[in-house]
């Protein structure tokens, strides 16, 4: 049976013969794919590729109450780990945590054979589709999928049904200092606060402004106004205007500038410098090797 994400990321189950040969630890199971069996909660470990770094304890308790009333309707999906007798979660970590809080000795599971790459992809995409990740967790998930599957932002956007600009804007937040990431994860600031900080290129100043936002509990509009005033005080000299050149040259220069803006919109921090010299007009472009 083809995995739900197989068409998107080339994931698939092993052939049936391989599944039948899979030797599982004695956990009251047969060797059939997708058969629900009961496994000790102590023999299950969290997904090492879980993109969610913070679990809402209140929601875990709410889920635990549901499990206590209705039972676990949807089994946890696991795979054999490198440690004998231990299985790693592929999908369903919240259910596992809720069951542990109820001191359940066993939970229903489905055992599958999946590679690290497949496991990571399923964990990342499952959480992205739930739309419960923080913006930083979401951005890191995009970054990981791009890295694992060697995709461009545009290709990833097409496979996930999102716009390229959405993915680029989320990933741009990863360029901010770790302190800003933690502030978002701890819900001290919002995504829009963080976006406003991107305009500041000096990391030290970014952190000082972050401290102001948190301590003074500024809303987004207040933060944006402060940053705008700050940037006006430090506004760099304007690019030279194109004087004394023909129409074709002006069109060429404007086209180059528009192209550079499009590249910047993908999340790449370009550095450009324009000089109007005696015999020619010079544009210097610096493109970082690592995004």
Q: Please identify every residue annotated as catalytic.
A: 93
Q: C-alpha distances in angstroms, 123 versus 83, 89, 93?
A: 20, 9, 10
Which residues are CB-neighbours of 46 under 8 A, at least 6 positions away?
Answer: 88, 89, 93, 96
Provide the 8-state DSSP code for 229: H
Distance CA 58, CA 279 (A): 68
* Token output for 277: 């010299």
Phi-psi map region of 182: left, alpha, beta (phi>0 left; psi -120 to 50 alpha): alpha
Q: Which of 234, 231, 243 is nearest to 274 (CA)?
A: 243
Q: C-alpha distances in angstroms, 69 versus 76, 77, 94, 159, 230?
A: 18, 22, 16, 38, 55
Assess contact for 127 and 141: CB atoms under 8 A: yes
Which residues are CB-neighbours of 1 under 8 A, at least 6 positions away?
Answer: 13, 33, 34
């Amino acid at each position: 049976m083809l995995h739900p994400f197989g068409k998107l990321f080339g994931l698939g189950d092993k052939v049936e013969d391989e599944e039948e040969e899979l030797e599982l630890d004695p956990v009251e199971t047969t060797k059939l794919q997708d058969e629900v069996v009961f496994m000790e909660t102590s023999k299950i470990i969290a997904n090492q590729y879980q993109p969610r770094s913070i679990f809402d304890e209140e929601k875990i308790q709410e889920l635990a109450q549901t499990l206590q009333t209705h039972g676990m309707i949807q089994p946890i999906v696991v795979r054999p780990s490198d440690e004998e007798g231990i299985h790693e979660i592929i999908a369903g970590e919240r259910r596992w945590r809720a069951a542990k809080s109820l001191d359940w000795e066993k939970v229903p599971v489905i055992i599958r054979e999946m590679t690290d790459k497949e496991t990571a992809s399923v964990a990342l995409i499952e959480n992205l589709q739930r739309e419960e990740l923080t913006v930083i967790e979401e951005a890191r998930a995009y970054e990981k999928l791009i890295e694992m599957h060697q995709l461009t932002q545009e290709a990833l956007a097409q496979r996930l049904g999102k716009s390229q600009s959405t993915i680029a804007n989320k990933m741009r937040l990863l360029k901010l200092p770790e302190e800003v990431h933690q502030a978002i994860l701890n819900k001290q600031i919002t995504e829009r606060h963080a976006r406003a900080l991107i305009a500041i290129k000096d990391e030290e100043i970014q952190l000082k402004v972050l401290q102001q936002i948190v301590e003074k509990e500024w809303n987004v509009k207040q933060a944006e106004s402060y940053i705008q005033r700050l940037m006006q005080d430090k506004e760099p000299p304007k690019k030279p205007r194109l004087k004394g050149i023909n129409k074709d040259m002006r069109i060429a220069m404007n086209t180059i500038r528009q192209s550079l803006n499009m590249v910047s919109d993908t999340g790449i921090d370009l550095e450009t410098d324009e000089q109007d010299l005696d015999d020619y007009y010079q544009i210097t472009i610096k493109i970082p090797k690592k995004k």
